Each structure stands twice: as C-alpha cells, then as structure tokens.
Amino acid sequence: MLDWYLNSSIHVAISTAALVGVTNWYAKLSLDWRVLIFVFCATMCSYNITKYYDYLKRNDHLKKTLITIIWLTVAGLLICAYYFYSFKLRSQLVILFFAFLNFLYVIPIGKGKKNLRNISGIKIYIVSICWGAVTVVLPLVEAEAPIQWYVLVAFIQRFILTLILILIFEIIDAKADDIKLRTVPQVLGVQKTKIVIYILLFFFFILDFFKRTQYQNQVLVNLILVAAIIAMTYFARYDRQKYYTIFWVEAIPIAWLVLINIIK
C-alpha cells in the first residue's frame, strides 16, 4: 500500500499542496480550496505522466497497480480541467505557460527527439521553476494579491528549496543515473554537491526575513527545518533505500507547513 501511495505520486502532490499552504500563511491569504485541489491534482498527474509515459509506450500488458494509477491520473486531469475554467484569466495564463513547459519536459520533440528532461543539466532548474510558480505565483495571482518585490523573494526561496530537494535525490541516484544526464553529483562529486546544498540552505534561511510578513517563532521554525535538511543531506548516499528520498525527503514541505501551524 505504501509503495502504491508513493508510486501514484500522491505523496509528492501533498508536498506541493503543503507549499501552497505555506504561501497562504505568509501572504495571509484565506484558503482557496480550488487552488489547493488543482495544485494537488496537477502535480500528481504531471509526475505520473513523466514517470510512466515511456513505460506505457513500450508495454502492452500493464500491471493492475499501474492501471489504478492510470485511472487516478485520468480523474486528476478531469478535476484539473474543471477547476481551470473557474480560475481568473491571469491564473489560466500562468497555468497554460507552465503546462506547456511540462509538456516539453516529458514529450520528445524536434529532430533529435529529445525532451527537456533528457537535456543534461537543465532538469533540476525546470522542475524548480515550475514548483516555485505553482506554489507561489498561482495562489497570489488567483487571490489578486499585489505582485510586489516580496513575491520574487518567496519565489526564489521556493526555487532554492526545490533545488535542494532535487540535489539530495541526485546524490542518492548518482550511480544509477545515466552519465549523459550530467547531474550535479556526477559533475562535482557527492561531497561538493553537499557543500552546494549547505550554501543554498544559508540563502534559503536568510531570504525568509525579506518576506512581507514576519512571525514570532519564524526563526525557530526555519532552524528546525534547515537542521532537518542538513541531517538528510549529511546522511544521503547512493545505497540508501528509495524511501529515504521519495518519502522522507519529499515530506520536507509537509513538515514545514506542520511546523508553522504547531509553533505559532
């Protein structure tokens, strides 16, 4: 059951939705269930299409568990379409732009039949930009909040957090990944990649104090979050079980939202 939960991308979808909750908290927005459900379903569908697109092209006989994931993805796409038409035009344009970017990420195009995911060095930045846009820009645009400098700060911070999580994934997968992908650990080595993560964590921590709103226990929340990421980075190595990343590392955004609500 746990494997199905993880393989169906429900866990990562909850993590993305949690980051929308973090945005609502800092921007003092009322909860918009439409945005939350849309982000959850869009993330789940996007990850499932990315993971299983090539597999579906090669295989006629599908496992029962994969069939249930396919139906779940179809249901998610229908829900996304339903809520898409309820959003304001600006929100729809944001969604369409990043949906197109995700399309290029998954579907091979051009003479070389390459997608953005297979172009060395670009994958982590595309994913980080999309997470930042969906979890920061979309909720604020739909709420018609003023797009000021603090939005850029929040976007950069969210970009950095996503980048950090992906780098931990890449450390675990350093030996399994195709060398042509030229992931950061493949280029710099595992130890130097960890140093990069620690530097990024410093900027992640500092940027939080440039947001529009501040809270009494904000420093404590951020210190706990940063300490947890440092520990996960320190103990990351290629022989870790898959649950280390696809469950625990991907749960970090959920932990951030939980900490914010507990330590008020």
Q: Quick one: pLDDT band at residue 120, thresholds 50, 70, 90?
A: low
How many CB atoms are located within 10 Å of the residue 223 CB? Answer: 12
Residue 229 has pLDDT above 80, yes or no: yes
Q: Quick one: average pLDDT of 149-171?
A: 91
Residue 219 has pLDDT above 70, yes or no: yes
Residue 155 contacts by C-beta under 8 Å, 6 or more apart in sequence? Answer: 132, 133, 136, 137
- Residue 58's pLDDT is 65
Residue 59 has pLDDT above 80, yes or no: no
Structure tokens given for 154: 């929040």
Has this prediction a pTM greater than 0.85? yes
Q: Quick one: pLDDT band at residue 101, thresholds 50, 70, 90?
A: confident
CATH fold for domain 2-262: Farnesyl Diphosphate Synthase (1.10.600)
- Alpha-carbon distance 7 to 24, whole Å? 28
C-beta of residue 236 within 8 angstroms of C-beta of residue 2: no
- Residue 109's pLDDT is 56
Structure tokens given for 180: 């042509």
Structure tokens given for 21: 């909750």
The 3-state secondary structure of 25-77 reads HHHCCCCCHHHHHHHHHHHHHHHHHHHHHHHHHHCCCCCHHHHHHHHHHHHHH
Listed by start position, the domains of the chain span: 2-262
- Residue 57's pLDDT is 63
- Helix/strand/coil for 88: coil
Residue 118 has pLDDT above 90, yes or no: no
Structure tokens given for 202: 């410093």
- Residue 82's pLDDT is 95
Q: Quick one: average pLDDT of 57-76?
A: 80
- Helix/strand/coil for 107: coil
- Residue 80's pLDDT is 96
Residues recorded for the chain = 264
Helix locations, the chain, DSSP H: 2-7, 10-27, 33-58, 64-84, 89-106, 123-132, 138-142, 149-172, 184-188, 190-207, 218-234, 243, 252-262
- Alpha-carbon distance 87 to 79, whole Å? 13
- Residue 241's pLDDT is 83
C-beta of residue 175 within 8 angstroms of C-beta of residue 238: yes
First-to-last C-alpha distance (Å) of the chain? 34
Q: Quick one: pLDDT band at residue 74, thresholds 50, 70, 90?
A: very high
CA trace torsion 40, 43, 45, 51 (10° rounding): -140
Residue 158 has pLDDT above 80, yes or no: yes
Residue 177 has pLDDT above 70, yes or no: no
